[in-house]
Amino acid sequence: MKRVYKYILAVVVLLTTSCEDFLDRYPQDSITNETYWKTEEQLRAALYPCYEAFFKDFLINWSECCAETCMWGNITSGLSKVSGGKHTYTDGFPFTTYWQQSYEYIFTCNNFLDNYDRAEVDQDVKDVYAAEVKVIRAYMYFLLTTFWGDVPWVDHVITAEEAYCARTPRNIVIDNLMTDLEWAASKLPRERQLGENVGRIDHWGALAMQARIALQNERYELAASLAKEIMDNSPYGLYDYAKICQPEGDTEINPDNNESMIYSVYVSDIRMHNVPNETCCPVDYIRINPTKSLIDAYLCTDGKPAKAGLEYYKEKGANIVTSDLYTFPEVHYADYFQNRDPRMAMTLYCPGDEWPGGDDGDAETKKPNKTFNLPRFPSLQSGNNGANARTGFYFKKYNDMNIAGNYNMGHNNLNVIRFAEVLLIYAEALYQMNGTLTQDQIDMTINRLRDRVGMHRMILTELAAWNLDLWTEIKRERRIELTLEGMRYADVMRWREGELRFGRAITGPSEQVCINDLGANPYPDTGVDEFGDIIYEKSTAEGGPRYFDPNVHYLWPVPYAERVKNPLLGQNPGWPE
């Protein structure tokens, strides 16, 4: 797939520019949309602009930074405003931006589907291409329905008159996606796509996308059935968690990675992203910041919680058994990382790690560190020669140390769906169907994930003895395993946990830790939250602006600019007309 990206720009120009622009740039005897669709080579070239829909801004900025496992470093950005309830119905970003971009990719997919059958190619061959495109289009509608609910269903290139339509009920859109994905799975190869086809979607990827969308829309029996089919019969399994989001784990480099089922291929000097720069490098401020609630969520190595956290907030956590392996309250920054689930050290930079962030927060301010010791806050150490944090924590996941500090040079692949998610879909769907899981079901799902990293297994009798709730622990496992992989916002919405998770203060380490290790609270004017943690931005509980209204914020407002053009779109409940 990588070599074909060299031809994307030409195809995009062909399929998306206006006639006038096209004639200005190309000779009049050149190809047009009407004459293009003839050969398999042309189908293949036209396929790759569709795959562009799997891109960093959708997978991370939209689907993660609008939630609360990570926060965007600029609190005035639309991304940060959403998780804090500060957005308004007239905001262009992210509402208009992501709505329009989604439908632009849907147009690209529809243009392919409207024309591919004209190619003079065997039907079973060209149907494979169409099947891939239907999976990609389904991902676009998964995002649209998750954030907006009812959205216009557009399955062909529409005329100007057809564009003036009402939104389609969400359940009908999902019905259409189930039909599309069933058809796609029937046409796609059952073998993993490697070699010149690396990165292309196969039969199992289509089933995984269908299972994800079914789970999101409470079609639990179907989600469980699809996930079990993949678990029992596919060539996919678990790989190395530490490598799965690093360049060395890219499937085209290491075919042993049989975990990435659908992924976005990035290519050095051709198609790149900026995640290494946005997660940890010397910069004015870190863009993608792990939140304190994520730090608190990691279990200790004995399987017990380090603290109640938001998982067992207030009365719910009164009787839980926490781990003796954890120092609480924390005295030093390093205490946060001691004796925790091994995935923590594979996801976050921990004290003692090799470090791409330049100067850290230790006492010496002029010299870049090779090893990470303490977080760096610009209020305590001036200059851009270090990784200036907002929350005091840094993502290692997707951070390529060889790239960090070089703008938009990241070329490690970004996962869309991993086999690990299939296991978690199966566990959640079974729980929703039956109200519990058996130990055997836990062993074939969650404990497979824990076993591969050497984490204490989930055992039902221990959960009961520790007064831990199985449903809470299923949700915790999903958050930990899939951190920064494009599902957190959807998960919180599906679980209806917006009131608990969103609208809270943006916090960092405890004030006591900051005083002990850094000499001061980097945010003295905003004080501390109910847990004693420093506050970067307050919620209404502390007299600040961040909040979550369950009557409004479970759906995004239909973009104002789109409603001005098409009043038939209407508005979601609670938002101004």
Bond before 351 cis per omega within 30 degrees: no
Averaged pLDDT of the chain: 93
Per-residue pLDDT band for 11 (boundaries 50, 70, 90) equals: very low
pLDDT of 460 over the 50 cut: yes
Predicted confidence at residue 25, as pLDDT, reads 32
Q: Which tokens sit at 398?
A: 């997707």
Separation of alpha carbons 87 and 531, rounded Å: 26
Predicted confidence at residue 364, as pLDDT, reads 87
List CB contacts of 357: < 8 A, sequence separation 6 or more.
280, 281, 282, 349, 369, 372, 376, 386, 387, 394, 404
The percent of residues in the chain predicted with pLDDT above 90, rounded, is 90
pLDDT in tens, 477-525: 999 999 999 999 999 999 999 999 999 999 999 999 999 999 999 999 9
Overall pTM surpassing 0.85 (yes/no) = yes
pLDDT of 334 over the 60 cut: yes
By the 8 A CB rule, do 486 and 59 touch? yes
pLDDT in tens, 64-102: 999 999 999 999 999 999 999 999 999 999 999 999 999
Gyration radius from the chain CA atoms = 24
94: phi > 0 → left, psi -120 to 50 → alpha, else beta; which? alpha
385-409: average pLDDT: 94
Q: For residue 170, give the nearest of 154, 156, 151 by alpha carbon.
A: 151
- In order, the DSSP letters of 129-197 are HHHHHHHHHHHHHHHHHHHHSSB----SPPPTTTTS-PPBPHHHHHHHHHHHHHHHHHHS-SS---GGG
Q: Which tokens sit at 563?
A: 């409603």
List CB contacts of 235: < 8 A, sequence separation 6 or more.
190, 191, 192, 204, 258
pLDDT in tens, 400-438: 998 888 999 999 999 999 999 999 999 999 999 999 999
Query: Which helix (H) or strand (E) element contains residue 461?
Result: helix 460-465
Q: Which tokens sit at 285?
A: 């401020």
Enumerate the domain spans of the chain: 2-264
By the 8 A CB rule, do 53 and 139 touch? yes
Cross-strand partners of 340: 300
Separation of alpha carbons 241 and 411, rounded Å: 18
Separation of alpha carbons 524 and 515, rounded Å: 11
Other C-beta atoms closer than 10 Å to the C-beta of 96 total 17
283-312: average pLDDT: 97
- In order, the DSSP letters of 236-278 are -----TTTTTSGGG-TTT-TT---EEEEE--BTTTB-B-HHHH
Burial profile 404-441: b = 16 or more Cβ within 10 angstroms, e = fewer? bbeeebbbbbbbbbbbbbbbbbbbbbbbbeeeebeeeb
Separation of alpha carbons 135 and 143, rounded Å: 13
List CB contacts of 221: < 8 A, sequence separation 6 or more.
429, 433
275-279: average pLDDT: 95
By the 8 A CB rule, do 313 and 305 touch? no
Separation of alpha carbons 96 and 240, rounded Å: 38
List CB contacts of 202: < 8 A, sequence separation 6 or more.
188, 189, 190, 191, 192, 193
Predicted confidence at residue 14, as pLDDT, reads 43
pLDDT of 21 over the 50 cut: no
The amino acid that residue 493 corresponds to is M
Return the sign of the alpha-carbon dihedral for residues 493, 292, 344, 326: negative
Burial degree of 543 (CB within 10 A; 0-12, 13-18, 19+): exposed
- Phi and psi (nearest 5°) for 436? -165, 175
pLDDT in tens, 177-213: 999 999 999 999 999 999 999 999 999 999 999 999 9
Q: For residue 213, give the nearest of 243, 173, 249, 241 by alpha carbon.
A: 173
Q: Report whether CATH 3.40.50.300 matches the domain 2-264.
A: no
- HEC states along 497-526? CHHHHCCCCEEEEEHHHHHHHHCCCCCCCC
Q: For residue 305, give the nearest of 430, 472, 427 by alpha carbon.
A: 472
Burial degree of 483 (CB within 10 A; 0-12, 13-18, 19+): buried
Question: What dihedral do alpha carbons 469, 430, 548, 388 form, nearest 10°?
Answer: 80
307-324: average pLDDT: 93
* CA atoms in the 13 A half-sphere facing the CB of 46: 29
Residue 285's Cα: distance from chain center in Å? Answer: 21
Predicted confidence at residue 6, as pLDDT, reads 42
Per-residue pLDDT band for 367 (boundaries 50, 70, 90) equals: confident
Separation of alpha carbons 325 and 339, rounded Å: 6
Largest CA distance in the chain: 77
Predicted confidence at residue 27, as pLDDT, reads 38
- In order, the DSSP letters of 409-458 are -B-S-EEEEEHHHHHHHHHHHHHHHHSS--HHHHHTTHHHHHHHHTPPPP
